[in-house]
Amino acid sequence: MPGENLSRDEARERAALLSVEEYEVSLDLRSAVGGTDTGTGPRTFRSVTTIRFRSSEPGATSFADLVAPAVTAVSLNGRDLDPGAVFDGTRILLEDLAEDNELVVDAQCAYSRTGEGMHRFVDPEDGEVYLYTQYEPADARRVFANFEQPDLKAPFRFEVRAPEGWVVWSNGVGELTDGVWRFAETKPISTYITAVVAGPYHYVTDTYERVLDDGTRLEIPLGALCRKGLARYFDADDVFLVTKQGLDFFHEHFDYPYPFGKYDQAFVPEYNLGAMENPGCVTFREEYIFRGNVTQASYERRANVILHEMAHMWFGDLVTMVWWDDLWLKESFADFMGAFSLVEATRFTNGWVTFANNRKAWAYRADQLPSTHPVTADIRDLEDAKLNFDGITYAKGAAVLKQLVAYAGRDAFLEGARRYFKRHAYGNTRLGDLLAALEETSGRDMTAWSRSWLQTAGVNSLTPQVLLDEEGRVAELAVLQEAAESHPELRPHRVAVGLYRREGADGPDGAAGSGALVRYARAEIDVDGPRTVVGELAGADAPELVLVNDDDLTYCKIRFDEGSLDTLRAHLGDLTDPLARALCWSALWNLTRDALMPARDFVDLVLRFAGRESDIGVLQTLHAWANSALTFYAAPGWRETGGRLLAEGALRELRSAAPGSQHQLTWARFLAAVATGEGDLRLLSGLLAGTEKIDGLEVDQELRWAFLEPLAAHGVADEDALAAELARDDTASGKRHQVRCLAARPSAAVKAQAWAAVVESDALSNALVEATISGFAQPSHRELSAPYASKYFDAIERVWEERSIQIGMDVVRGLFPSLQDSSGTVAAADAWLASHGEAAPALRRLVLEARDDLARALRGQACDGAAAG
């Protein structure tokens, strides 16, 4: 892995020297089928690349990138070079460059099982082989020779030889002639967004049509594809519906027609990401094709991802950052525009609720880690870049842009984007290029705003301070702003402050709490500095709840005064506005993570009020948080009690939910996640066997696997039972589920086998590595996994050096001994960090983050233990 790295300084030097005219890439993928994988070496395919490029300094030396087992031939400007002399496994040395150059590289590249480069998947259901590529940030060099950095854009022409009967897709329109798939030349794009998808995929087509403002009729061919085994579940009509709604929205608001011709969307197996914005050939993880019953939250999530990737066609593909420092120029914008278009163009009108409750929680966690960074980051090399696809770059950046829209004005923001596209089409940009356009359209100075929000790290806390007069009215309401000592920046915030009280609380019958908790006053202000008075709310009736950042206009942690917190403890379920409720839940979770609220109190709030939550996405998030509160933040002595209470609550809500409803399905899944007692496990077994029934609950195949995991983890479902279930669901999805359940069994031998399969061997594909790690890390198996804490620290540097960065990240994150929650584990992490100062910075970052999460959990456990008296 270290030899594959590329530094920012190297990229700058190469970009100053070279400009790329065009690529021609010829791939022969017929080796994907037939033969056997002997284990003596990787299965390979032939890759021939021709690059035409210019050098500003004739006679200079540079290099091309290629990660391949072997290079057959290299020629530069007609001179045959010795592959053994110029190729070191990751780079091709290019000496004595001319002003105009032609490089031809004939290589044997390896098919991947890690989801990086050209991934090869064999479907266990029918033996069919499927291929797809995934490159971001720098894995195109695993498929063809190139200059692997985002600012060396060029047009690409691909041709592919594939097994007979296969179809091949790439960025441009393809045509099969004389056994070769040839694709139309692309616009100038970066290497990391080129794509090839090949195999016997199921393919559905449609067309998007629109008349542009100038009268031009725009027609975009649409396609959607998946494995044949998933075709019966594929709801392509809904995918196309959201796609057309998104294209309408972006054409209306961006005033720049979709620039890449056709628009295919491929749902592919064993995918590491949610999706990837390859222009004209977007790839998605196939889990977005639903094999069983799911809630509307799943459809909303898929729609958001479709729109996120579509926004990239402009933010990222048409205009691309110079280097990964400005990754936010594509990811923050795509995250924001995904939610923006979701709410305004589709049926998912509560998308900002999901954003406030889910996406921003990801950002708040990332922004409190020791590895936090400004939205515009300092990315030294490709390993840094890989790790910076994080909650700050995506969700914090999107939240900051949401505030920018309020600060600059919606019309000015969109007009700035339009000018940015037209000014920099097919080019590369930095932070200042976008800010310049926004300054022009808004008339605001973006320098100070950028310095506070894009160039500093950390999250502020906003707390209301309420003073009442003798008549019980608001004499003064102020907002207090605080920052962590490590990141003391106090920022300007545009916020709404809402006052809430219960309807009927002061009615003639005196029935306190007899009505809904509703907002009766609101003020929108600029918060700046440690204390800001909200003059507009002076004289208002005394509130029962003060919600700073009402309507979620800014990025901050919300705190409460004591009166507001007491109101939420008693009446959170009476809060009628879904967004306000989601914001309160998020704030309460942050209090728990910050050891300001005992975990058992948060669990209690979920037990009392989650059953009244109308937004299904928020409910699912609450379930995840409650489980996390119990696993990591609750005092060890209370875990058994807390687990029993959660299981009882889940069963109670499951039985009372409307038959066949989304809420019923969600509570059934939560019961499976928290089931530990004999009665709960017996019920799950009965539901699987058909001897138990809950009216309206369809136990489909996906729900069967969800029920089987806790049964396996508690020794009720053995290897034979899991084999029988796989026979019932002998598919790629079924295999992943079975592998996870097998690793979840409560046996020292099982844990040893799972550990060896992931850490000591590279035989498993990326998807099965992920499944094995998930099964291994069972909260109820703390004693069984304890011996692996020391083994973890002994193994991770070797794993990082020997495996691909994706597998390295999965192992280092997934197997960190977070369930060994003691000061001894923190000390072991500290000792490793102290003794491995020369380890790869990206590896150290992962360990440091996991160590910080564990230390936070221990502080939460101390808070929870203190609450027990």
Catalytic (active-site) positions: 309
List the beta bridge partners of residue 479. Answer: 464, 532
List the beta bridge partners of residue 54. Answer: 19, 100
Distances (CA, A) of 744 to 196, 646, 684: 36, 21, 16
Q: Which long-range contacts (CB under 8 A, 24 or more apart) does 84-91 make?
A: 88/3, 89/3, 90/3, 90/4, 90/65, 90/66, 90/141, 91/63, 91/64, 91/65, 91/66
Q: Which two structure tokens, joined as six digits, stand for 135? A: 């490159």
State how far the Cα of 771 lies from the Cα of 760, in Å rounded to an integer: 16
Residue 573 is classified by DSSP as G
CA 320, 326, 329, 334 dihedral sign is positive
* Sole residue written with tokens 């060890």: 636
| Residue 851 near residue 826 (C-beta atoms within 8 A) | yes
CB atoms within 10 A of CB 4: 19
CA 352, 358, 364, 367 dihedral sign is negative
Which helix (H) or strand (E) element contains residue 432? helix 431-442
CB atoms within 10 A of CB 515: 16
| Residue 629 near residue 603 (C-beta atoms within 8 A) | yes
Report the SS3 class of residue 148: coil
Q: Of 263, 261, 205, 267, nearest to 237 (Cα)? A: 205
Q: Of 177, 110, 173, nearest to 143 (Cα)? A: 110
Q: Of 88, 56, 51, 92, nearest to 69 (Cα)? A: 88
State how far the Cα of 748 lies from the Cα of 753, in Å rounded to an integer: 9
Report the SS3 class of residue 351: helix
Residue 111 is classified by DSSP as P
C-alpha angle with apex 564: 563 to 565, nearest 5 degrees?
90
State how far the Cα of 731 lies from the Cα of 735, in Å rounded to an integer: 6
Q: Of 420, 413, 423, nearest to 446 (Cα)? A: 413
State how far the Cα of 834 lies from the Cα of 828, in Å rounded to an integer: 10
79-81: strand order across its sheet: 79-81, 70-76, 100-110, 44-55, 18-28, 156-161, 180-183, 174-177
| Residue 103 near residue 78 (C-beta atoms within 8 A) | no
| Residue 479 near residue 465 (C-beta atoms within 8 A) | yes
As a whole number of angstroms, the longest Cα–Cα distance in the chain is 96
Phi/psi for 372 (5° steps) reads -55, 155
Q: How many residues does the chain have?
A: 869
| Residue 551 near residue 582 (C-beta atoms within 8 A) | no
| Residue 94 near residue 61 (C-beta atoms within 8 A) | yes
